[in-house]
Structure 1
Amino acid sequence: MPLFYRAIQSPIADKNGVKKWHLSLVKVGKTVNTKQLADVIAEKSSLTVGDVQNVVTNLMVVMRRELLNSRTVRLEGLGTFTMRVRSNGKGVETAEK
């Protein structure tokens, strides 16, 4: 299970005028959807595909609710999920705005 990556040079130079290089992951193949994940998980367990799909769907619903309530969700072995905001450098003049 290798990760594929490529080097990409930043279009923006740092304070020394150097455009640094960064790694970017390359996606391979088609996106795996919830049904496909449920099929594989069901093969590895005593649960039916429908049971697994129900659990995965409920996990997404609950995670979304917790994230929208400004909480962090940690799934051990997978990752930590949190909401972020970004203004993309387009701020406003005052905090009230």
Structure 2
Amino acid sequence: MAIVFKKALCKNVADKSAVAKYHLQLLTLGQNVGIDRMVYQMKENSSLSKGDIFSVIANFVECMRTNLYNGHSVNIRDFGVFSLSARTEGAEAEKDCTAKKIRTVRINFRPSIGVRPDPASTRAEDAMEFVDLQTYLDSQKGNGGNGAAAGNDGEEENSLG
């Protein structure tokens, strides 16, 4: 399955004199993949039952939360690092800069090199294929809906599967 994109005209709102430029926006197709589907896919690739996998995930989330809330970052090898950050209200005096100034707390994720997307990857299992949505839709009208579409450079034939 390819990653579908559309072209959008965007203007830098901070710079009134900037010329609007086209940028690619990656699209998410269909519904989100939920825990049930992920567990089923994991079950198919292991000897664990769905119940075992659900239990491991639930325990993992609880353990990660506990460690984050105790001030630690959580480093999952070959996946990435989770940590907390806060958005705060500023204070003019250091003595007024207290925990009461925290407005929101977020969980950050920094992916490891192993999962970071690389559009230039040449390894088959890591290769990313991109398809222009408009080109795909136009090809459906013009050639009886066979699924062929030009890629982002117009040279390759791609299919949405």
TM-score normalised according to structure 2 size: 0.45
Structure 1 residue ranges without an equivalent (≥5): none
Matched residue pairs, number?
92
Question: Which protein is bigger by CA-based radius of gyration?
Answer: 2
Aligned residue identity for 2:93: T
Give secondary structure in 1 for the equivalent of 2:85: coil
Residue pair 1:38, 1:49 contacting (<8 A) in 2 also? yes
| Residues 24-39 of structure 1 aligned to structure 2 (within 5 Å) | 26-39=27-40
Q: Which residue of 1 aligns with 2:59?
A: 58
More strand by share: 2
Deviations 1:33-59 (A, max 9, x none): 222211110111111000000001111
Please tell me the root mean square deviation across aligned C-alpha atoms, in Å: 3.0
Residue pair 1:34, 1:56 contacting (<8 A) in 2 also? no
TM-score normalised according to structure 1 size: 0.68
Q: Distance in 2 between matches of 1:40 and 1:5?
A: 26
Tell me: higher relative CO, structure 1 or 2? Use CA pairs within 8 A at least 6 residues apart: 2
- Identity across aligned pairs (percent)? 27
More moved, 39-48 vs 28-37: 28-37
Q: Distance in 1 between matches of 2:87 and 2:80?
A: 21
| Residues 1-97 of structure 1 aligned to structure 2 (within 5 Å) | 9-13=11-15, 26-87=27-88, 90-95=89-94, 96-97=96-97
Q: Distance in 2 between matches of 1:35 and 1:65?
A: 24
Residue pair 1:72, 1:81 contacting (<8 A) in 2 also? yes
Aligned residue identity for 2:84: M
Residue pair 2:11, 2:18 contacting (<8 A) in 1 also? no
Q: Distance in 1 between matches of 2:61 and 2:73?
A: 14
Q: Distance in 1 between matches of 2:11 and 2:66?
A: 37
Q: Distance in 2 between matches of 1:94 and 1:24?
A: 43
More moved, 2-11 vs 32-41: 2-11
More moved, 41-50 vs 23-32: 23-32
